[in-house]
Amino acid sequence: MRVLEIGNYVSVAYAGMILAEQGHEVTKWISGKPDPIEELDGGSDLWEWINDRKRMVVTHGNQVINLGAAVVDCGFDLIIDNVRAETWERWGVDPAREADRLMIPWVSLRDDFDGRGFDAIAQARAWGDHVGYIPVYIGDTSAGLWIAFKGLSMLAAGDYGHTVIRQAACLAKLVEGELIEVSRDGSRPPWDPPGTYGATEEGTEVHYRGEIIKEPFRSAEWRRANLQHHEGRIDV
């Protein structure tokens, strides 16, 4: 399968990496300017790792309108991107129209409000009591997996057209699954209500399969003393 990857940062690059690892031919369009990934701490290594096995082509994303008008002429079987809707509009590109013209699947990742993704919030909350933050990419990587999965499933079904998936929904599916069932009596959802876990000044108590598990609170001082970290970022 021939995949065209358009966009910056982690999510779409991770999707492209997953597809490349599966043996698909992935072409990544780059602007020639540094990707935001490269500005991260250790970003150069991340850039090389996440774009391994891809063919890099310096061109503008709006050049998608110049692709051949059919699958045989297009040169690609699938397009993936994480470009904001307002950016496509500014470029004069309608992904839905182009996907129909090319007769191929096109999967776009957006956050819920086409603004900033929520990974930044997770990063800030995860280590907010210490200088720096943990580079949490769970939203990007889970979304990247869903981009790849959606593209492959559309191809397998012989579908084409433009599909938008949402970053928060991707993470919710990973973390919560599809927990929409209620209790047998219909009284409440299956998860435990607030107060079920015995939070005290010493920590938290959880009753699990007949065993009482106690976990003390971990202060910033404890984490700095007991967890390997570099300038506030935990090393795993």
Mapped onto helix, strand or coil, the DSSP state of residue 89 is helix
Specify the pairing of strand 55-58 against strand 25-30. Answer: parallel
Give the start-to-end residue ranges of the domains of the chain: 2-175, 181-236
Q: Is the distance from CB of 110 to CB of 88 less than 8 angstroms?
A: no
> How high is the pLDDT of residue 15?
95
End-to-end CA, the chain: 34
> How high is the pLDDT of residue 125?
47
> Is residue 183 pLDDT above 70, yes or no?
no
User: Cα separation of 198 and 236, whole Å?
Assistant: 29
Q: How many CA within 13 A on the CB side of residue 130?
A: 18
Residues 6 or more apart whose Cβ sits within 8 Å of residue 159: 105
> How high is the pLDDT of residue 96?
97
> How high is the pLDDT of residue 43?
83
> Is residue 8 pLDDT above 80, yes or no?
yes
For the domain made up of 2-175, give the CATH fold. Answer: Rossmann fold (3.40.50)
Residues 6 or more apart whose Cβ sits within 8 Å of residue 204: 197, 198, 214, 215, 217
Predicted confidence band of residue 166 (pLDDT cuts 50, 70, 90): confident
> Is residue 162 pLDDT above 60, yes or no?
yes
> How high is the pLDDT of residue 133?
44
218 or 18, which is more confident: 18
Q: What is the pLDDT of residues 48-62, one digit of tens each?
A: 999 999 999 999 999
> Is residue 138 pLDDT above 50, yes or no?
yes
In eight-state DSSP terms, residue 134 is -
Q: Walk across the sheet containing 78-81 and list its strands.
A: 55-58, 25-30, 2-6, 78-81, 105-110, 161-166
Supply φ then ψ for residue 14, to 5 degrees: -70, -40
> How high is the pLDDT of residue 131?
45
Mean pLDDT to the nearest integer, 101-112? 90
What is the total residue count of the chain?
236
Residues 6 or more apart whose Cβ sits within 8 Å of residue 18: 144, 145, 148
User: Cα separation of 210 and 197, whole Å?
Assistant: 14
Predicted confidence band of residue 46 (pLDDT cuts 50, 70, 90): confident
201 or 39, which is more confident: 39
> Is residue 190 pLDDT above 60, yes or no?
no
User: What are the strands, taking DSSP E only, across 87-210?
Assistant: 105-110, 161-166, 198-199, 203-208
pTM: 0.71
Mean of all residue pLDDT scores within the chain: 78
